Amino acid sequence: MNLKLDKLAGFLLVAIVSGFVSAGPLLAASGNDGHSSGGHDAPASDSHRGDAHGTDPYSEAPPPKKHVPVYVWQREPKNAPYKIVRKITELQNRIVHGDRAAFDILQARLVSVSQELMAVDTALWITDLRNARAALKFVMSGGPPDILRRLIKEAALPTRYLEPATAILAYAEGRKSDAYRLLRDTDPRDLEATLGGHLALIKALTIGSRRSDEVRKLLDDARLLSPGTIVEESALRRQIPLEALQPDNGEFDMLTSRYLRRFSQSVFARGLLLQVAETLARDDYGGGDPKKLSVLKGFLDQMRSSQRTNFLLSLAREATARGFAGTTKFAVEEARKSKPPPLLEDDAPLQLYGASMGIIGGDYEKNAQKLEAVDDELLTVEQSDLRKTAIGLKKMIRRWPPTPEVKDEAKFEAENGGPLLWAEAVAARESAAQGQDLLASIDELLLEIDQ
């Protein structure tokens, strides 16, 4: 009997602890020794069942348990596409801040990342929007378009990304007109900033030079949506030459200042400066127009010493190619100010450009001597060819036009109003034509330099 009561007490204890049975009535039904009290209640003053005020703590049922939500933590796969694409983003950020080694491995890394993305299970693209965005961003960053082809074919992209993805694929495959048609009514600002900046840049590139105002607006959007990234750097490189053609609007100053503050170390900076030099030389910025000259000087003031010298050499070369003596002279003089003293008079390219223009619009004898004195060993092959061509032009300028042989002076006199007048005119025209041909060859040669 005692054994049965002990088992019953054990079951009741488990029930009480689990909250299935109220403990008050059970304890009240048993005596202090664990035996039945014959149905009489124990005294309320029993210290085991009451507190200091004589109340029974078990007289009421416990409050109902509150619902506590359970969160199931799932480990994210290591090969999440957005994490893979982040490798390219990091690499490109290093490139625009001057990491040449990152630039050298970029193409190989794009191929390897493309292979990783193609191996990702389709379910990962569907269940996480970050992965879908990463696929678009990867192809807009120069990656192979294979992954977009696959995702479009498998309908593994959210509906809101399908049209941009189709346009991006068209652009990556070289179908710019199709890409523009698909993007015509798309506002990049409606997308997340991580995509919008890239898409604004792509849309601007599909337009080309057909609508410069629309291109400028899109490049502005690209810069503002993706500050500090390769998207902003790329947008600035495309917008600065456009604004150089309009020196009065102040945009050129603002954009060049921003580029040189943020991206002066970029691997692509030298290419931009060469492009700007070509644009400014083509518009003869150093030729005497006060507004243009002010813009040019302001641009030079923002550069580091090494950038300034290289830019001025490019400006001098481009101005020489176009026959702008004023801009050539300005560039040569400013470059000599930028160089350390030991190199002032020994810089062969500067002497070459300055003397080539000087024999036409300056002191002929002095510049002819300088041109002859330029050391071929210090010139590139193209510069050496330019020197030889300029020396040929120098000799032609000083040569008296040849007089053609005349066998019948009487006939010439009768037909042309005086002896030898017609012959001299013909000789002069021939000499001028030869000079024009030579100048054309100089232009062609100079335009090939550094291409």
> For residue 179, which phi and psi values (nearest 5 degrees)?
-60, -45
For 349-363, what is the mean pLDDT? Answer: 67
Give the single-character DSSP code of 30: B
Judge whether residue 219 has pLDDT over 70: yes
DSSP 348-391: HHHHHHHHHHHHHHS-HHHHHHHHHHS-GGGS-HHHHHHHHHHH
CB 222, CB 209: distance < 8 Å: no
For 117-133, what is the mean pLDDT? Answer: 89
Average pLDDT over the chain, rounded to whole?
74
pLDDT, residue 289, reads 82
CA–CA dist 30, 49 (Å, integer): 12
Q: Which of 80, 130, 138 is nearest to 109 (CA)?
A: 138
Kindly state the percentage of the chain with pLDDT values over 70.
59
Q: Which of 398, 325, 399 is nearest to 356 (CA)?
A: 325
CA–CA dist 203, 168 (Å, integer): 9
Cβ neighbour number for residue 343 with a 10 Å cutoff: 13
Cβ neighbour number for residue 55 with a 10 Å cutoff: 12
pLDDT in tens, 177-191: 999 999 998 899 999
Structure tokens at 150: 């696959």
Q: Between these two residues, 92 and 66, which has the higher pLDDT value?
A: 92
Judge whether residue 15 has pLDDT over 50: no
pTM: 0.67
Judge whether residue 240 has pLDDT over 50: yes
pLDDT class of 197 with cuts at 50, 70, 90: very high
**What are the sequence ranges of the domains in the chain?**
1-66, 80-262, 268-405+415-451
pLDDT, residue 150, reads 95
How far, rounded to the nearest angstrom, does the alpha carbon of residue 324 sit from its chain's CA centroid?
Answer: 33
pLDDT, residue 376, reads 67
pLDDT, residue 445, reads 54
Judge whether residue 126 has pLDDT over 80: yes
Interacting residues of 238 by C-beta distance below 8 A, sequence separation 6+ = 204, 205, 215, 219
> Alpha helix locations (H) across 62-99?
81-95
